[in-house]
Amino acid sequence: MPELFNLIQQNKKVDKNKLAILVLWFLVNAFFFIKNGIVTTGEAEKYIGQANIFLQTGSVSSPNLWFYFIETGLIAFCIKFHASFLIIIIIQFILNFAATLFFYKTLLFLFDLNSVALAGTIILLLNQPYQEFNTFLQTESLFYSLTLILSCYVIRIEKISLKKIIIVLALLLIASITRPTGLLFILPVFLYLFFIYFHKASRIKKTGILLVFGLLLFFIINKAMGSGGEFDFMLPFRDEDIICGLPSIAHSASIKTTDNGNSILGIFYYVIHNPAQFFRLAWLKTIAFFGLYRSYYSKWHNIYLIVYFYLIHILAIASLPYLAKKMFYKTAYLLSLIFITWLTVMLTCDDWHNRFYLSISPYIIIISMGVVKKISKQKKPV
């Protein structure tokens, strides 16, 4: 009987936590929906335009735009059937809520404390710029939710099965045609699953698998980089862009490049032959990426960004020694997502609205919960 009573009490706590998450999620998203309505201006205009082109021609105006097709396709559906764009916003809300619950369950799985899982989820829901994209007719909301579901699913995998591989591949594919940065998740996901499944395999077998995967990934990334349209990977270096689309010099810089700068080899060639400029810009982009401050934001918005995110950064750094001992591979996976996004920014440019950083902010929150778990364990019951 005591065991049954304890189980009932635990279930009540979990239900209360989920209810609290639901209420806060609703309040946050209701606030942004009332404040913004359905945002169809700015970048949303690009996807609406491409949806109309797709309906007229059966294609998009440039091959690179297929990497944004999920949002474009949903908009095209609404236009075709004269439906309200509210349908897309509802889909974004539903997927965001599902990702939030995945996030909560993953924190519970990793740290085995309701209080830690609830605290981390509340912090995510209070991530104002992250949540606000749910009301925008852009790719960010769907991309953030899909990649968060993907990562939460991946780090809970402890045994490989065909079903799990299919689910992971499907999520990677959908994420990659929601935003091209979905391709960045391929390497961390593969390496995490590789070390789980093949850690006892022979060195020859491991090397062969890594070689085949490396060649395949090289081909995929190279193909994506060369898909044309607005993709010009040398432009941020010629214009010395820290923030994409904002040149920091009046005239193009004289840099050494290959004939095909839109390729992995083209990027390597640039870095090797222009090291002084690359490392200077990389440092400035790093400050913009992790610093989050923007001169064109209001004073109070910048204060919010600094207080909210810097505290999470401090907690995450303090958590690393603890997490490295308790869950090395899972921590390595989360850090690899942060690193590869940071590296991509250094090799391109940072975003006007911190959108690249926001995509990895949930993983920094997960890491930051390590020190919260450690402190919670050290508390003595009264």
For residue 216, give both structure tokens: 């395949």
Closest C-alpha to 179, from 64, 91, 88: 64
Determine, yes or no, domain membership for 347.
yes
Residue 122 lies in a domain: no
Is the residue at 147 inside a domain?
no
266 inside domain? yes
Asked if residue 241 belongs to a domain, the reply is: yes
Q: What letter does residue 138 receive in the DSSP assignment?
A: S
CA distance 114 to 132: 26
**Residue 267 pLDDT > 70:** yes
- For residue 11, the model assigns a pLDDT of 53
Please report how the helices 140-154 and 162-176 are oriented relative to each other, as an axis angle in degrees rounded to 10: 160
Range list of H helices, 227-291? 235-238, 264-273, 275-291
Beta bridge partners of 202: none
- Structural domain span for residue 278: 227-382
Mean pLDDT of 355-381: 88
The answer to whether residue 11 sits within a structural domain is no
Tokens in use for 17?
């936590």
Say what the pTM is. Answer: 0.93
Q: Is residue 326 part of a domain?
A: yes
Is residue 341 a part of any domain in this protein?
A: yes
The span from the CA of 124 to the CA of 220, in Å, is: 32
Which two structure tokens, joined as six digits, stand for 253?
């810089």
Question: Model confidence over 291-347: pLDDT tens digits?
Answer: 999 999 999 999 999 999 999 999 999 999 999 999 999 999 999 999 999 999 999
Per the structure, the count of domains in the chain is 1
Cα–Cα distance, 43 to 19 (Å, whole number): 35
Residue bearing the bigger pLDDT, 352 or 10: 352
